[in-house]
Amino acid sequence: MFQLTIAVILIVFIFDIALSIMNYRYRSQPIPENVADVYNKEEYQKWLRYTMENHRLSMVVKILNTSILILFLATGVFPLLARRIESLTADPILQTLFFLGAYFLIMFVLNIGFQAYRTFSIEERYGFNKSTAGTFLLDQVKSILLTFLLGGLALKALLTLYHSMGRGFLLYAWALMVFLVFLVNILYTRIFVRIFNKLTPLPEGELKDKIEALARSTGYEVRKISVMNASKRSGRLNAFFSGFGKFKHIVLYDTLIEKCSTDEIVSVLAHEIGHAKHKDVLRNFLIAMVQIGVYLLLLTFFLSSTALAGSFGFPAIHDGFSLILFSILMEPFGILLGVPLSAISRRAEYRADGFAAGAGYRSAMISALKVLARENFSNLTPHPLVVKMTYSHPPISQRITALSKH
């Protein structure tokens, strides 16, 4: 099992590296004619430099993380860490939480420097970063606390069910995880976004009037529209919907409002309403329900296999290490599953674009896509295989081609 695990890690690593290099080398392909006006010559050269720097950094990070993981597995770091934690508490669930928390912190410390370099060197030099060192550090602290609090509580509940419910574990665990996913969707904007960003109501004016008119004309009830101070951290543009039913909430980045015209912003929201009209949020939730069930079924094998634990120097089953091993060995399955799911997502994006065009915003949607691509430094020539394997959204040139036919 040790050899199989190392082989899986290396195969996934080689696959990721190959896709990354393939996409990087494809950057010099001719730009499609319908997006040739996104970048001028100077901006395109700037994008090429930005892409090169990010590519190099991502290669270093992938090599480092893969090497560390293999080193930990080969030298018995995980059993050693488990023994140290066992001396702190006899509670098996607390042992698991401390074990995973310690591993998370180790990897966090090893990677925080790269994240800081990306933010304050690469993103800063290319005009994206707006964060101060204080904001960056506070965000990291908040992220760690949220991970420990929410992840710890969810994992504790899951392990408690596993050790107490016997054969009923799968059903109860599945119900718990589905409920948590639903709860996060409901509370995402109301609580989690507000931990990091400030939301203010969209002021009265032309933009709000047009959004409300669009909602009425499409039969989509809008209860709340907010503007997020995204410019505090980044110059990137975006907008999103969150929640279900009466919890639905529209959030616009202040950078989007600054860079796009009123009709371009409304076209982006028409696209999002298209997702709602086609029940894409519900479909994604149902898919997640099935995925949770499949992953929980596979997880029970890892949590009950003495042979797996023994292959890595553990005298008995260790829940924490079983979860790490599960995440490693499920990566190839996740990659394969991601191919059809990405294809479904890309089709949904085409439908949502078509809805925006049908609502009278075809030209504005095309224009908005170009603004978003330019301001976010989007890749105009991604490799076709990379698109099929990993892209949840079609390349901008293909989206514009499809929009032009409406």
Task: Look at residue 146 in the predicted model and tell me its pLDDT.
Answer: 92
Are the C-beta atoms of residues 317 and 302 closer than 8 Å to each other?
A: no
CA distance 372 to 141: 30
The per-residue pLDDT for range 111-164, each reduced to its tens digit, is: 999 999 999 999 999 888 888 999 999 999 999 999 999 999 999 999 999 888
| H/E segment holding residue 156 | helix 152-165
Please answer whether residues 301 and 275 qualify as being in contact, where contact means their C-beta atoms are separated by less than 8 angstroms.
no
**Encoding tokens for residue 9?**
């890690």
- The Cα 375–Cα 1 span in angstroms is 47
The pLDDT value recorded for residue 217 is 87
Cα(210)–Cα(262) distance, rounded to whole angstroms?
Answer: 8
The pLDDT assigned to 181 comes to 87
Rounded CA separation 50/53 (Å): 5
Token pair recorded at residue 113: 């420097």
C-alpha 249: how far from chain center = 20
DSSP string over 129-146 = B---HHHHHHHHHHHHHH
Contacts 24+ apart (CB under 8 A), 184-188: 185/242, 185/243, 185/244, 185/285, 186/243, 186/244, 186/247, 188/242, 188/243
Dihedral sign for Cα atoms in the order 129, 131, 133, 135:
negative
Residues with Cβ < 8 Å from 224, sequence gap 6 or more? Answer: 201, 248, 249, 250
Point out the residues of the chain with pLDDT beneath 70: 243-247
Measure the CA angle with vertex 80, ends 78 and 82; round to 5°: 70
Q: How far apart are CA 119 and CA 233, in angstroms?
A: 10
Domain boundaries of the chain, sorted by first residue: 2-199+277-404
Structure tokens at 232: 């505090």
pLDDT confidence of residue 262: 94
8 A C-beta contact, residue 181 and residue 285: yes
Q: pLDDT tens digit string along 46-61?
A: 888 888 898 899 999 9
* pLDDT value of residue 246: 67
Beta strand pairing call for 249-253 and 225-228? parallel
pLDDT of residue 277: 86
Q: Are 174 and 154 in contact (CB under 8 A)?
A: no
What pLDDT is stored for residue 248 in this prediction? 74
The per-residue pLDDT for 307 is: 79
